Amino acid sequence: MEIFRLVFSPIEVNTYILAQESGECAIIDCGCYNESEFGKMTGFLEEKRLKPVLLLNTHCHLDHVFGNGFMLEKYDLRTYCSKEDDRNRLNAVTVARLFGLEMKTPPDPGTYITDGQIISFGETNLEAIHVPGHSKGSMAYYSQKDSVVFTGDALFAGSIGRTDLPGGDYSTLVKSISTRLFTLPKETVVYPGHGHSTTIEKEIKSNPYFN
């Protein structure tokens, strides 16, 4: 599996493209804010000869679902996400206005996922790991074979997600990271929702929220 990172929207969210040798790919957190940004992503996919077959959301805060409508229109893909994040999806338009942004209501998910569920495409299996605290329905996606985990806004390089938004809770987030993410193999590469990648080992040793 080859991993590409594209950064979109005024909030600079990481959109990940997980590519198979066959040309099939999964998209995690399509953050394309407008048609121009979505055009950049589709141009990238065409250049790499990739076909999206799966759309995932780590959670449904506005910046992570900006592009879901575009994905439905272009590729007929609805997202996989946790039902516990429905409130964030439905409130995304209102929250966007508070940020001075405009967006349409994100489309309904295609599939609700639960903790421990395995989501497969091509030769890749992703395990959904429930990591509440930043939002109630936050999910990380872990590939044991590729030794990578996509953590959304739960765990960042040297930091953790904010907990002052509806559904957020600091103690819950710290517990989620400690018991669900820091128990993964230390060499696991962490791909967060914002910023650059890191490793589980590095965060255990140096993340200031745990030291």
**pTM, to two decimals:** 0.97
The predicted pLDDT at position 211 comes to 78
Q: CA 103, CA 144: separation in Å to the nearest integer?
A: 36
pLDDT higher than threshold 90 for residue 196: yes
pLDDT higher than threshold 90 for residue 76: yes
Pairing assessment for the beta strands 155-156 and 148-152 based on DSSP bridges: unpaired
Give the residue carrying structure tokens 């959304």. 152
Rounded to an integer, the average pLDDT of 64-77 is 97
pLDDT higher than threshold 90 for residue 58: yes
Q: Which two tokens stand for residue 110?
A: 């295609």
The predicted pLDDT at position 165 comes to 85
The predicted pLDDT at position 116 comes to 97
Closest to 101 in 3D by CA, of 148, 34, 55, 166:
34
Residue 118 CB coordination number (10 Å): 10
The predicted pLDDT at position 108 comes to 97
3-state secondary structure of 121: strand
Positions of E strands within 84-147:
111-112, 118-121, 124-130, 139-143
Residue 171 CB coordination number (10 Å): 9
Q: CA 55, CA 61: separation in Å to the nearest integer?
A: 15
Rounded to an integer, the average pLDDT of 122-145 is 97
The predicted pLDDT at position 166 comes to 82
pLDDT higher than threshold 90 for residue 49: yes
Backbone φ, ψ for residue 161 (5° rounding): -70, 155
Chain-centre distance for alpha carbon 73: 20
Q: CA 79, CA 171: separation in Å to the nearest integer?
A: 28
The predicted pLDDT at position 167 comes to 85
Tell me the β-bridge partners of 120: 125
Q: CA 116, CA 113: separation in Å to the nearest integer?
A: 9
CB 66 within 8 A of CB 148: no
